[in-house]
Amino acid sequence: MDHSRVPVLEALQAFRRRGDVVFGPPGHKQGRGVDPRVLDIVGAGVFASDVLSLNGLDDRRESQGVVPQAEELMADAVDADHAFFSTCGSSLSVKTAMMSVAGPGEKLLVSRNAHKSVVAGLIVSGIRPVWVHPHFDADLQLAHPPEPEDVRRALAENPDAKGMLLITPTDWGTCADIAGAAEVCHAADVPLIVDEAWGAHLPFHRDLPAWGMNAGADLVVTSVHKMGSAIEQSSVFHLQGDRVDPDVLSAREDLLGTTSSSALVYLTLDGWRRQMVEQGEELLGAAIARAGRIGEAVRGMDGLSLMGREVVRPGAAFDLDPLVLTIDVRPLGITGYQAAEWLRAERHVDIGSADACRISARITHGDDDETERALVDGLGALVAAAGSMERPPRVDLPEPRSLELEQATTPREAFFARVEQVPVDKAVGRVAAEMVSPYPPGVPVLAPGERISQEVVDYLTTGVAAGMLVPDAADPSMETLRVVAE
- 18 pLDDT band, cuts 50/70/90, is very high
61-65, 215-219, 380-384: the lowest-pLDDT one: 61-65
Provide the pLDDT for residue 146.
96
Q: How far apart are the first and last CA of the chain?
A: 60
At 105, is the pLDDT very low, low, confident or very high (cuts 50, 70, 90)? very high
- Quick: pLDDT tens for 340-374: 999 999 999 999 999 999 999 999 999 999 999 99
Which pLDDT belongs to residue 260? 85
Residue-by-residue DSSP string for 80-109: -SEEEEESSHHHHHHHHHHHHH--TT-EEE
Average pLDDT in the 277-281 region?
98
Domain regions of the chain by residue span: 1-63, 64-260, 280-388, 411-484
Q: What confidence score (pLDDT) does residue 439 get?
A: 81
Provide the CB-side half-sphere exposure for 423 (13 A, CA): 2
400 has pLDDT over 90: no
pLDDT > 70 fraction of the chain, expressed in percent and rounded: 100
Tell me whether the omega of the peptide bond preceding residue 104 falls within 30 degrees of 0, making it cis.
no
pLDDT in tens, 432-461: 999 999 887 788 999 999 999 999 999 999
CATH topology of domain 280-388: Aspartate Aminotransferase, domain 1 (3.90.1150)
Helices (H), 206-359: 224-227, 246-256, 263-299, 336-347
- Helix-strand-coil split of the chain, %, nearest 5: 40, 15, 45
225-272 pLDDT, tens per residue? 999 999 999 999 999 999 999 999 999 999 888 888 899 999 999 999
Domain 64-260 matches domain 411-484 at the CATH topology level? no
Residues 220/197, Cβ–Cβ less than 8 Å: no
Residue 399 has pLDDT above 90, yes or no: no
CB atoms within 10 A of CB 334: 22
Q: What is the pTM of this model?
A: 0.94
For the residues of 129-140, what is the DSSP string, one character each? Answer: EEEEPPEEETTT
The per-residue pLDDT for range 155-193, each reduced to its tens digit, is 999 999 999 999 999 999 999 999 999 999 999 999 999
Grouping H, G, I as helix, E, B as strand and the rest as coil, residue 144 is strand
Compute CA distances 306 → 85, 289, 296, 325, whole Å: 35, 16, 9, 7
Question: Amino acid identity of 33?
Answer: G
Query: What distance in Å separates the CA atoms of residue 197 and residue 230, rounded to the nearest whole number?
Result: 13
Residue 50: pLDDT over 90: yes
Question: Residue 452 has what DSSP assignment?
Answer: P
The pLDDT of residue 341 is 96
Whole-number Cα distances in Å, 264 to 2, 9, 52, 134, 271: 22, 10, 10, 37, 11
Strand 319-320 and strand 305-306: the pairing is unpaired
pLDDT at 440: 72
User: Measured between alpha carbons, how far is 401 from 409 in angstroms, rounded to an integer?
Assistant: 20
Q: Please give the pLDDT value at position 229.
A: 94
* Helix pair angle (89-101, 116-125), 10° resolution: 40
Distance CA 230, CA 164 (A): 28
327-339 pLDDT, tens digit per residue, is 999 999 999 999 9
pLDDT of residue 398: 78
Instruction: Work out the number of other CB atoms within 10 angstroms of the CB of residue 348.
Output: 9
How far CA 120 is from CA of 100, 249, 442, 447, 475, in Å, comes to 15, 18, 12, 9, 18
Of the candidate ranges 8-22, 315-329, 435-449, the one whose mean pLDDT is the lowest: 435-449
134 pLDDT tier (thresholds 50, 70, 90): very high
Of all helices (H) and strands (E), which one includes residue 121? helix 116-125
Mean pLDDT of 194-212: 97
Which residues lie below 8 Å from residue 14, measured CB to CB, with a gap of 6+? none
With contact defined as beta carbons under 8 Å apart, do 197 and 232 qualify?
no
Confidence check: pLDDT of 401 > 80: no
Q: What's residue 259's pLDDT?
A: 82
Q: What is the mean pLDDT of the chain?
A: 95
Domain covering 411-484 in this structure, CATH number: 3.90.100.10
Class at the top of the CATH hierarchy for domain 64-260: alpha beta
- Contact between residue 114 and residue 90 where contact means Cβ atoms under 8 Å apart: no
- Given a cut of 80, whether residue 150 has pLDDT beyond it is yes
CB hemisphere CA count around 153 (13 angstroms): 8
